[in-house]
Structure 1
Amino acid sequence: MHTKRITPALIAAAAFTLAACASEDPTAPAGGSGDARDKTVTIGTANFPESEIIGQIWAQALRDAGYDVDVKSGIGSREVYLSALQDGAIDVVPEYAGNLTQFFGDLEQGADEAKVRDALNDVLPDTLQAGEFSPAESKDAYRVTRETADEYKLSSIADLSKLDSVTIAAPPEFAERPYGPKGLTDVYGIDASTVSVTPISDGGGPLTVAALVQGTANVANIFTTSPALLDNGEEADLVILDDPEHLIPPQNVVPVVRAGELPDGALDVINNIDAKLTTQDLVDMNLRNVGKERAEPKQIAQEWMNTQ
């Protein structure tokens, strides 16, 4: 297996992006010094609400266990926040097992959760460590409008071959993901010349949904736990296409940490709270955040923690 190397140039780019995201420089070294550092954990989150909610759950669990916690939110895409993790700007970040494995190396087509775990242990750099897989899972998915599904009789990803062109509303990095355009061609035989990506950086949120509903794109990459809401707050009538060839691998929530850098016991706290998290919890919490309630991630996390 080949491991993708994170170059100094990419780390530098990550630092620039992080600095632009917050008035307080999130690339500054995590924590402080001396005894205080022994109880401080710096959590980073990606640039979509679910990651922020999970990060806030971890933060509350760690504070309840007596740790000092700093949360650096909305860092960016996987390329950026993993660079920040390796560079020491953060200590731990919420991740998704299959995508993380494919980022660093190869993953057997159709791999189940156990095979993803084995592969992740093989490809993860020595500087990083994965925690336990949570029962909660948030998978990428291909969605189309009900109208498009009915018109072209689309029920699975393979049926996208019926379209003259496949224009996918998705994050910019989706174009390079194994389950993106390349996967459509390699696994499902979709003509590569018909596939394109319309980049939208809202993690499958309302801008992505609008592009699909308004016809800017005819397919969208939206997580299975993400509510597909219209501007008026109503849910769009979308269809998730089946994935019979398992192009998209298991995506259990998993903490990734800088190896040996967390205070003693901190990863156990995160693993223990993740074990209580379910996929339906993610669906419900995401809806509270992006739906009519517009609850803040910190509030959602605190109220979920109160039920545990």
Structure 2
Amino acid sequence: MKRVIAGVATALAATLAVSACGGSEDPLAEDQPTGGSGDTITVGSANFPESQLLAEIYAQALEAKGVTVERQHDLGSREKYMDGLKDGSIDLIPEYTGVLLQFFDKSAPQVEAEEVYAALPAALPENLTVLDKAAAEDKDAIVVTRETADKWDLKSIEDLVPHCGEVVFGGPPEIQERADGIPGIKETYNCTFKSFSSLEPGAITTKALLDGTVQAADIFTTDAAIEANDLVVLEDPKNNFAAQNVVPLINKDKASDTVKETLNAVSAKLDTETLLDLNARLNAPDKPEYADVAKEWLGEVGL
């Protein structure tokens, strides 16, 4: 009898041990959450409002699906945060297809949306991948005031070329080296600016343009300041700036089925008009928090 009881106790202990380790015999195993593969996903953003808002949208959408999220907003430029993506200290960040491709392949010839997106996987580091791109596009652009556009009859970058020597050009410091930045503008349009003024993206750049500190500036096409200040975006007939669709860039190890489905659903709801509206909400007089704008929009679209 003692041997029987001991045997039953041993079997029971073994069963409990297997269950505690999450073994395949656990009858509840199929009901366990699968969103983050048991891992925390660290969501980062660049140093401008739209990136921080998109990162917050990604974070809240994932949290709604049971994924544990940590946030690292305002990490700086691509040149700064990419190291974190490579070493795994950051897992996910909103990106833009054209500039992302050119970051890893400065000679990439693709400029159209589908071609750029198709070329990305081969250009990325082994540990990174992109999920579905959104229809939403936010491109770098050369922007001038209405007064300057009227003075020189400017509609495109080509129209600016005869005046480049008179122009102080403003933009983020990294644009001095980027393939589609000052080197690209010079090569594509034979435009050499009088000088360059290093400016933080956003309100600081807009102010410098409006007060005449710079005569042209690199501003994102979805920046609410363009419409609010009647600024003029110069056309880019030679495609110096490639297609820039919003796309999640993620560590492959963190791209579980739930994560992919969630972020792809976000991308499916994002078009350029939506991006313009979201930026306008951020720029409202009451200056709402990124988290509040993200939560409101996710609720509106059922995510």
What TM-score bracket applies, with the shorter chain setting the length? Answer: 0.7 to 0.9
The answer to which of 290-299 and 240-249 deviates more is 290-299
Bigger Cα displacement from structure 2, 73-82 vs 113-122 = 113-122
Residue 227, structure 1, aligned to residue 220, structure 2: no
Report 1:13-162 matches (<5 A).
38-106=38-106, 108-109=108-109, 111-162=111-162
Matched, 1:175 2:176: yes
Q: Do residues 196 (structure 1) and 195 (structure 2) align?
A: yes
Offset from partner CA, 1:49-83 (integer Å, 9 cap, x none): 11111111111111111111111111110011111
- Please name the residue that 2:208 is paired with: 211
CA RMSD of aligned residues (A): 1.9
Q: Deviations along 1:134-180, whole A, 9 cap, x unmatched?
A: 11111111100111111111110112222132321111111112222
TM-score, L = length of structure 1: 0.82
Q: Does the Cα contact within 8 Å between 2:41 and 2:254 map onto a contact in 1? A: no
Mean alpha-carbon deviation: is it higher for 153-162 or for 36-45? 36-45
Deviations 1:214-271 (A, max 9, x none): 1110001111110127xxxx92121100111111111100111112234442122111
Find the counterpart in structure 2 of residue 236 from structure 1: 229
- Matched position secondary structure for 2:115: helix
Structure whose residues are more often helix by fraction? 2
Quick one: structure 1 residues 195 and 125, their matched pair in 2 at CA, closer, same or farther if it must change by over 3 Å? farther
SS at match of 2:118: helix
Cα deviation, residue 272, structure 1: 1.5
Distance 1:93 1:243 in 2: 27
Contact 2:106 2:179 in 1 (8 A): no
2:144 partner SS:
strand
- Once the two structures are TM-superposed, the CA of residue 107 in structure 1 deviates from its matched residue by 5.2
1:162-219 CA-to-partner distances (Å, cap 9, x unmatched) read 21323211111111122221112211122x3x34321112x2x111111111111000
Matches within 5 A, 1:218-297: 218-228=215-225, 235-297=228-290
Q: Is the 8 A contact 1:101 1:107 kept in 2?
A: no
Contact preservation (8 Å) 1:39, 1:263:
no
The alignment covers a number of residue pairs equal to: 266
Paired position in structure 2 for 1:185:
186
Deviation at 1:298, TM superposition (A): 0.3
Q: Contact 2:101 / 2:108 at 8 angstroms: preserved in 1?
A: no
Q: CA deviation at 1:37?
A: 6.5
Structure 1 outlier segments of 4+, above 3 Å? 106-110, 261-264
**Does the aligned pair in 2 maintain the 1:168–1:197 contact within 8 Å?**
yes
**Which segments of 5 or more consecutive residues in structure 1 lack a partner in the other structure?**
1-34
- Mark the structure with the bigger radius of gyration: 2
